[in-house]
């Protein structure tokens, strides 16, 4: 991680017809873009999906939790697949 500047950056995006912004660490931003690539979705569509499912938390928090959940699921799936190979 670079020691210059903040590791947290404000991102301005359009979700549907609405412009909004959120602030996340560079690692979460890169992970979010990777998830969109894996799902073969434009990043804007993935953000719209994430935004449509949130209830009261701010978008920055929901994005972080979405990324964390994604990688936790991958870890769980890999662990389950490993148990099946015994």
Q: Which of 50, 68, 67 is nearest to 59 (CA)?
A: 50
pLDDT at residue 2, rounded to an integer: 47
Give every residue of the chain whose pLDDT is below 70, as ranges: 1-6, 84-86
- Claim: this prediction has a pTM higher than 0.85: no
Q: Where are the alpha helices (DSSP H) in the chain?
A: 26-38, 43-53, 59-83
């Amino acid at each position: 991680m670079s020691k210059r500047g903040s590791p947290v950056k404000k991102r301005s995006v359009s979700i549907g017809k609405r412009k909004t912004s959120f602030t996340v660490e560079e690692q979460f931003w890169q992970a979010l873009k990777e998830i969109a690539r894996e799902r073969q979705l434009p990043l804007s569509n993935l953000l719209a999906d994430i935004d449509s499912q949130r209830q009261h938390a701010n978008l920055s928090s929901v994005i972080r939790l979405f990324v964390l959940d994604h990688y936790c699921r991958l870890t769980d799936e890999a662990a389950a697949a490993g148990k099946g190979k015994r």
